[in-house]
Structures are given as structure tokens and as C-alpha cells.
Amino acid sequence: MHSEIVDTLRCLGAHDESWLVAAADHTEDRHIMRGVLGCPVCRARYPIDAGVADFTEGRGASSAAATEGPPFEDDDAMKLAAMLDLTSGGGYVLLLGRWARLAHALRELAPVMVIVANPPAGVEMGNGVSGISIADRVPLAAGSARGVAIDVGSSALADSAIARVRPGGRVVGEAEVELPAGVELLARDERHWVGARRGGGPLLRLVRGSAPPATST
Ligand SMILES: [Zn+2]
């Protein structure tokens, strides 16, 4: 759990969005490898072990963690960087499930932080890659991610994950993942699709202004 990413984490408690306070027992190169995150509002505690913060609240990670899937191909990290439009640095992207296998290769291609959710066994935390273990909700600030990649095993988390993406940000899915509502399809091939999160653009504001009552996103 990189110290910069801590600022992006949010409590899952039933109260207004709240950041979390980190207490580190063991840190390696700005990554909290062992410690705890605490909510100043409801006192919830989320332990960090082996660099992965546990937000499952004792319910166990979603089945995404067990999904193996076909192996990635040599140029898949390059393809993922392109689909996520990582031509500039800064910010972070969220990789769900088996996409985590490309996290370090992606970091070598683009200077962005990477958060992996329910990563498969063998994915190391550190070097800008931070891990979270989640059940049914994504504990990140709304609209804060540059983009998200969804694997088949994480389909149930798609809506919660997309809400963390900034309007216009990229959403990537494996071909078998149904295109979520709120995502405008940009391109599709036999293995993947890529879209943009709708909302927040000038056109949408114009439409809303002429058609009250507006609905929130
Ligand atoms: Zn809380």
C-alpha cells in the first residue's frame, strides 16, 4: 500500500465519504507492507498484510481472486496501457482480478500508480503497485481513478469500480464481461473492449440544463 494511495482510500462505513488514517508497522520504500487503516468517523479498522489492505470486513474476497483465465500475451501490457490511454503520467489506475498480473509491466510503460484488487497469488506488492482485497464494494474516492480494467471474475464489481473512474476515464473489459451501463464503447476486438465512462462532459451538462429535473450520476 503506497503512502500516496492511502489518500485515495475511503471507509466502507455507512456515513459520508471519509479518508482513512494509516498506522504502519513495517514499511518498504514508501509502501506500507504491514499495518492498519482506521476510520476517524466510525472507528472501522482495515488491516494491511503483505502490502494488501483487507476491505472484506471478514466476508472474504469475491471469487475474482480465484480466477485464473488464459495466459496473457507478450504485448498485453502495451495493449492495456493503450486501452487505458496512459500517454501521460500521474494518477492511478485500478486493475481487477487477473489483470493484476500486468501491473508491474504496466508500471514500466507508464508512470502511474497501480492499485490491484483481489490479485491472483504471486503478484508482488511494492514499486508503485498497491493491493486491496474487496468483497462487493471498491473503497476508493468517487471519480478518482484514471481508468479501470475488469476481468470476468470481477464482473459483479464492475458498477462499483466504474463509479471510481473520473468522467471520460477509460474502462477496459475482457470480451466476456458485459458492457456496463454508464460506459460508452470506443472499440472492441475478440479479447477485449474499451470504453469511456459517461458523465460530466460539457455536452451532458448542456442536455441536463435543458431537461430538468437532472439526475445525479
Ligand atoms: Zn468509517
What total number of domains does the chain contain?
Answer: 1
Per-residue pLDDT of the chain (217 residues; tens, 9 = 90+): 999 999 999 999 999 999 999 999 999 999 999 999 999 999 999 999 999 999 998 776 665 555 677 788 889 999 999 999 999 889 999 999 999 999 999 999 999 999 999 999 999 999 999 999 999 899 999 999 999 999 999 999 999 999 999 999 999 999 999 999 999 999 999 999 999 999 855 444 444 444 444 455 4
How far apart are the CA of 3 and the centre of ligand 1, in A?
19
Q: What is the CATH number of the domain that holds 92?
A: 3.40.50.150
Give the cell for residue 80.
Answer: 492495456
135 is a domain residue: yes
How far apart are the CA of 12 and the centre of ligand 1, in A?
6
How far apart are the CA of 202 and the centre of ligand 1, in A?
34
Q: Could you tell me the residue range of the domain that residue 89 belongs to?
A: 58-205
75 is a domain residue: yes
How far apart are the CA of 113 and the centre of ligand 1, in A?
25
How far apart are the CA of 13 and the centre of ligand 1, in A?
4
How far apart are the CA of 99 and the centre of ligand 1, in A?
29
11 is a domain residue: no
Give the cell for residue 107.
Answer: 508500471
Give burial (CB, 10 Å; 0-12/13-18/19+) of 161: buried
